[in-house]
Amino acid sequence: MRSAALRADQALRAAVDRVRPAAHRVGEWLAPLIQRVLQWLAPLLQRIQEAPVVRRLRERVAPHVDKLPESVRRAPRTRSMQVGAAVAAVGVVGLVIGSATSGPAETEVHEAAMEAPIQQQQAQAAPEQAAQAPAAEAAPAPQAQPAPEAPLGPPVEGIDVSNHNGDIDWRQVAADGKKFTFVLATDGTSFTNPRYSEQYHGAKDAGLIAGAYHFARPGSSSAEVQAERFLNTADYQSDGKTLPPVLDLEVDPNSGGCYGLSVSDMHLWTKTFNDKVKERTGKEPIIYANPSFWRQCMGGTDTFDGHPLWLASYEVDSPAVPGGFSDWDFWQYTDKGKVAGIGGNTDLNQYQQGFERLKQLAG
């Protein structure tokens, strides 16, 4: 029995002696690899130690560990070190076996170790990026294209009326070839045409295109006050039968001047009135004026060239366009016209560009 144990011990020692050189060589070969593995794992281990869950666990366990006897507190540390060493050994053996069976180069192992944290970071960042990504902007709604300009035609005849014209038979006016009319709605700050509604709607009912005009008195009140009162009376409707509202600019009927205002004051008053009208109707107002007024009170400005011009010019074959305008649209060529359905004289007008464009202007 003793001799058998001795022989077994000698055999074991002989085997260890045979294995020791190979184990030493394996250890020398593994040492650099283990060092690299530890370097790769160090950031991960650090992150694990700093993780909130681990910190909270340590904070909860530490008070209980401190209460244990010294011998007990050391034992777990020793065992944990042993366990850690065992885990490391198993990991190393796994790496060795994997290297032997699959044969990846050392650089591939390094790349794989580096790629794993990157992929994890990318996976974590993807939901954050999705949350932070701005919502796709809705495509802007297509803007309505302006209607093509209607064809040019021969001049169209029309009239303008006020309370002075009295009762009017609009069906006779239409039968006399008149296609449009302007009707006085308001004058200055206080006057309103008492026949406005019957004249304006009577013309429309008879098939004429109608528009309202305001006789401006810039010296009596602000442009806002007069524009507001005018618009409230005119009752503008975008119905395809209504011309843009008209601002009638003439010299002061009492003094023959510019209402005591400077040219720049007249510009501002006119612009303010027009802006108010456009705000309410969406239309650029038509401007009524004659060449002498435009020169004297407006200084021949071209500021309002974008507005349709209703030009007053009598006893001429072709009217002179005031400086500041490219051309006239409406021409009031006489105040002594005769029209069926109207007693006495009335103002006669032409629209220069034809009936189709007149309808487009009223659209």
Q: How many CB atoms within 10 Å of residue 31?
A: 10
The answer to whether 329 is a known catalytic residue is no
How far is the C-alpha of 211 from the C-alpha of 181, rounded, in Å?
A: 6
Q: Are 142 and 177 in contact, with CB atoms under 8 Å apart?
A: no
Give which of 341, 336, 358 is closest to 156, Cα–Cα: 358
Beta strands in the chain (DSSP E): 156-161, 180-187, 191-192, 209-215, 246-248, 286-289, 309-312, 330-337, 346-351
Locus of tokens 């250890």: 27
**What value does the CA radius of gyration of the chain take, rounded to a whole number of Å?**
50
Is beta strand 180-187 parallel, antiparallel or unpaired with respect to 156-161?
parallel
> Is 248 a catalytic site residue?
yes
Given 187, 248, 329, 347, which residue is catalytic?
Answer: 248
Coil, helix or strand at residue 207: coil
Q: For residue 64, which phi and psi values (nearest 5 degrees)?
A: -75, -35
Is 160 catalytic? The answer is yes
Which long-range CB contacts under 8 A does 6-14 form with residues at least 24 apart? none
Q: Measured between alpha carbons, how far is 24 from 30 in angstroms, rounded to an integer?
A: 10
**Phi, psi angles (nearest 5°) of residue 292:** -70, -40
Q: How many CB atoms lie within 10 A of CB 317?
A: 5
Which one is catalytic: 250, 252, 275, 356?
250
Backbone angles phi, psi at 205, to 5 degrees: -65, -30
Catalytic residue ranges: 160, 248, 250
